[in-house]
Structures are given as structure tokens and as C-alpha cells.
């Protein structure tokens, strides 16, 4: 038996049936709006309650308020991607040029969306870590850290943390808009992302910088 006969008799079994794919599609379409509504109402109520006692606010109030705001950004910044993915059935029937035109506004917003989304996620995660660490330290030495853990200190900490989160995720809009400037980006997204991998992996760039520095020092 030849390899051609084997290929002719070989049948690819799909991982999921069409009914399973359709079920996942409808679950995605229904679940996200419910989470969006519930998450928005819950976080807005949380912020309202926290800001109601702003005169007697503590570091706990500041940290929880920042987490609630960050969670709101995470919820709403997922909306464009949800709209795009939910229309996959409609997009699949379009030609390549029509699909590219339909996806154009989503691609234009993609860099800002990913930047804001990753910034909000990191801000929320690091805020919870800082808050937990402060609670631990306050429990171990309450008299020493009671005055240091003020609302003003928490606001300064959150501003510095937000700046760091924005800086370390800024590669998202740079990568997105650089790729959009390439004519073949619509048809070769993977290739463009691979060409801009140095934005997230600085090891090769750091190696070149170190080699360059050592070379210059030898000639001094």
C-alpha cells in the first residue's frame, strides 16, 4: 500500500461538531452582556459607596476604588472584541476585501483597546497585591504603620503604579499601528506580529546593546 492510498483513506475527524460550535457561539453572545451589566452595576455601586465616605477615607477606600474602576475598564474594553467575534457568521460570508473593510474600525481601535485592557488588568492585580501586603504589615505592626498607610500615600502609590502599567504595556498600540501601516497586514497578521516581537521580548535587543557597549569600551 502506498502513501497516496493511505492519504486517500485517511479521514480528518473534527474536534467539535457544528451543534457544539453553534452552542458555544450563543453562550458567548448571551453570557458576556449579562456579565457586563452585572459587573457595571456592582462596580458603580461599590465606587458610589466608597466615595460617599471620602472625608473619612483610608488607604483601603483608595485601593478598592481603583480596583473597581480598573474592573470597569476591563469589562467595557472587551465590548468591541465581543461584537467582532459575535458576528463571525456574518463575516465568514464576506469576501476578503469586504471583510477587511468591515474589520477596519476594529483594527484601528485594537491597539488602544489592548493597551487599556492590559493596563487595567495589571493595575487591578498589583493593587490587590499591595493592598494585601499593607494589611499584613499593618496586622503585624499596627502602631508603626497606622499613620503611614494613609489615603494620601495610597493615592501616590496608585498614581505611580498606573504610570508603570501604562509604560510597560505601551508596546500594544505601537505594535498595532505599526502593523496597520503595512499593506499586507490584513492578510498576514502573524508575520507582522512576529516582526515586532522585539517589543515584548527585549533579550535580543539587550544582547546587542551589551555587545555594543563592550566594543566601545575596548576602543576607549
Residue with cell 474589520: 103
Cell reading at 62: 483608595
Residue with cell 469576501: 95
CATH class, domain 3-182, is mainly alpha
Q: What is the reported pLDDT for 116?
A: 93
Q: What is the reported pLDDT for 18?
A: 62
Question: Residue ranges of the domains in the chain?
Answer: 3-182, 188-220
Q: What is the reported pLDDT for 179?
A: 77
pLDDT band at 6 (very low <50, low <70, confident <90, very high): very low
Q: What is the reported pLDDT for 149?
A: 64
Alpha carbon separation from 139 to 62, 132, 142, 143 (Å, rounded): 19, 11, 6, 9
Cell reading at 150: 494613609
Beta strands in the chain (DSSP E): none
Alpha carbon separation from 125 to 68, 77, 113, 159 (Å, rounded): 12, 17, 18, 15
What confidence tens digit (pLDDT) does each residue in 77-134 have?
A: 988 887 777 766 666 666 767 766 777 777 778 888 889 999 999 999 999 999 998 8
Amino acid at each position: 500500500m502506498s502513501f497516496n492510498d493511505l492519504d486517500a483513506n485517511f479521514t480528518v475527524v473534527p474536534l467539535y461538531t457544528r451543534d457544539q460550535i453553534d452552542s458555544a457561539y450563543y453562550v458567548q453572545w448571551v453570557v458576556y452582556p449579562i456579565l457586563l451589566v452585572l459587573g457595571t452595576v456592582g462596580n458603580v455601586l461599590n465606587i458610589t459607596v466608597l466615595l460617599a465616605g471620602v472625608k473619612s477615607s483610608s488607604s483601603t477606600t483608595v485601593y478598592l476604588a481603583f480596583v473597581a474602576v480598573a474592573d470597569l475598564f476591563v469589562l467595557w474594553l472587551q465590548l468591541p472584541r465581543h461584537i467582532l467575534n459575535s458576528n463571525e457568521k456574518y463575516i465568514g460570508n464576506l469576501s476578503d476585501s469586504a471583510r477587511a473593510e468591515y474589520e477596519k474600525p476594529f483594527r484601528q481601535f485594537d491597539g488602544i483597546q489592548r493597551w487599556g485592557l492590559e493596563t487595567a488588568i495589571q493595575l487591578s492585580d498589583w493593587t490587590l497585591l499591595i493592598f494585601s501586603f499593607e494589611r499584613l504589615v499593618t496586622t503585624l505592626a499596627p502602631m508603626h504603620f497606622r499613620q503611614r498607610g494613609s489615603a494620601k500615600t495610597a493615592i501616590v502609590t496608585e498614581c505611580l503604579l498606573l504610570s508603570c502599567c501604562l509604560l510597560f504595556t505601551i508596546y500594544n498600540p505601537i505594535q498595532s499601528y505599526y502593523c496597520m501601516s503595512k499593506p499586507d497586514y490584513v492578510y498576514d497578521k502573524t508575520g507582522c506580529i512576529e516582526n515586532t516581537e522585539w517589543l515584548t521580548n527585549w533579550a535580543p535587543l539587550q544582547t546587542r546593546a551589551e555587545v555594543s557597549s563592550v566594543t566601545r569600551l575596548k576602543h576607549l
